Amino acid sequence: MSAEGKRVTQFQRASNGSMTLFEHLRELRGRLFKASLGVAIGTIVGFVVAHRVINFLIAPYCDFQADKTPGVACTFSATGPLDTFLLTLKVSLYVGLLLGAPIWLYQLWAFIAPGLHRHERRYSYVFAAIAAPLFGAGMLLAHLIVSKSLHFFLNSGNFNVVVGISGYFSFVTKMMLLFGAGFEFPLLIVMLNLVGLASGKRLLGWWRQAIFLMFLFGAVVTPSPDPFGMSILAGCMAILYFGAVAFALLNDRRRARKVLAFAGVGDDELSPIEDRDEIDAADPVAPPEPVGPAQPIERRYDDFT
């Protein structure tokens, strides 16, 4: 309880530094438990819908098989008796992480938010709202690229290719995760500009180096050796990069106008009051009432009661 009788929340205690180290550790333990519980519940739900997710992931290969040999069922090879079961568990865990993301991300945010300023928390909300759609767009683009590139890979030569389920799943998930991570690149550019480490003009001057790094990133992270996936990923990142540079230029222009507005005011000079006439015309403030004399203390109680 505070001096005014109001209850002090845990967030306020963590932000003003009144919590002890053991209280922080106790809070961390509780938040980790809640985050793990959310992931566990999401994994159970993921196990129920795992076959639908697997059908979505293997759809590109099954479409290729249907075009190549119509009427033949889509089949994969397995090197061990537990491959299909382990694949189901892996898909369930991925779905659990996705479904439990609102819970474990909130627990993570609630633990680190007291150490941030108010404007930093506001920027974090905006970044989180933009990062999720960008990551999802990257994953969907990767799935589309996989469906188009399989025709190129599996039709190169007269070979009877039998695709393993573990290798195919690893290939598809890596492509989707890496494309999603690549789409977060413009947020890093915007962050550098917001904290003042890079101006929009400087970022625009770095466009050649940025394009080179994008193609290098695409060549390293894409598991396929063809140039198509690398080029598509680098091209999308380039479009997002120039969009981030445009935001940086607008933000720099806003900062310049703000600095210009206070250019004639010194660091130790008070800002002038514009509506001085309205303040003078306002009703005068009534003087405070005098404090009355002290009342005698009843002697029926001692000094403690």
Question: How large is the average pLDDT for residues 75-88?
Answer: 81
* Res 265: pLDDT: 58
Which has more pLDDT, 165 or 269?
Answer: 165
Say if residue 226's pLDDT is above 60. yes
295 confidence band (pLDDT: 50, 70, 90) = low
Q: Answer yes or no: do 36 and 134 share one domain.
A: no
264 confidence band (pLDDT: 50, 70, 90) = low
Q: Which residues contact 176 (CB under 8 A, 6 or more apart)?
A: 138, 139, 142, 143
- Tell me which residue of 123, 262, 115, 132 sits closest to 193, measured CA to CA: 123
- Indicate whether 287 belongs to any domain: no
Predicted model pTM: 0.65
Between 22-31, 170-179, 262-271, the lowest mean confidence (pLDDT) is in 262-271
266 confidence band (pLDDT: 50, 70, 90) = low
Last residue of a domain, one of 262, 277, 300: 262
- 181-197 residue pLDDT tens: 888 888 888 888 877 78
Q: Which residues contact 148 (CB under 8 A, 6 or more apart)?
A: 228
Say if residue 199's pLDDT is above 70. yes
Helix (H, G, I), strand (E, B) or coil at 7: coil
- Give the dihedral sign, CA 165/171/175/181: positive
Q: Answer yes or no: do 100 and 132 share one domain.
A: no
The burial of 182, by beta-carbon neighbours within 10 Å (0-12 exposed, 13-18 middle, 19 or more buried), is given as buried
Q: Answer yes or no: do 131 and 258 share one domain.
A: yes
- 35-61 residue pLDDT tens: 899 889 999 998 999 888 888 888 888
How far, in Å, are 14, 101, 120, 126, 186 from residue 199 at the CA level? 34, 33, 19, 20, 14
Q: Answer yes or no: do 137 and 252 share one domain.
A: yes
CA distance 90 to 84: 10
Q: Answer yes or no: do 148 and 34 share one domain.
A: no
- 86-135 residue pLDDT tens: 888 988 998 888 888 888 878 887 777 777 677 667 777 777 778 888 88
Q: Answer yes or no: do 145 and 246 share one domain.
A: yes
CA distance 160 to 167: 17
Question: How large is the average pLDDT for residues 278-297?
Answer: 62
Amino acid making up residue 139:
M
CA distance 100 to 89: 16
* Res 283: pLDDT: 55
The two tokens of residue 207 are 């466009």
277 confidence band (pLDDT: 50, 70, 90) = low
* Res 45: pLDDT: 92
Q: Answer yes or no: do 184 and 80 share one domain.
A: no
CA 137, 124, 105: angle at the middle one, nearest 5? 70
CA distance 186 to 243: 8
- Indicate whether 299 belongs to any domain: no
Say if residue 225's pLDDT is above 90. no
- Indicate whether 177 belongs to any domain: yes
Q: Answer yes or no: do 56 and 128 share one domain.
A: no
* Res 3: pLDDT: 47
Say if residue 81's pLDDT is above 50. yes
The burial of 43, by beta-carbon neighbours within 10 Å (0-12 exposed, 13-18 middle, 19 or more buried), is given as buried
- 123-167 residue pLDDT tens: 777 777 788 888 888 888 888 877 777 776 676 656 666 778 888
Q: Answer yes or no: do 39 and 168 share one domain.
A: no
**What end-to-end distance do the CA atoms of the chain give, in Å?**
22
Q: Answer yes or no: do 255 and 178 share one domain.
A: yes
Domain membership of residue 227 as a residue range: 117-156+163-262
Say if residue 28's pLDDT is above 60. yes
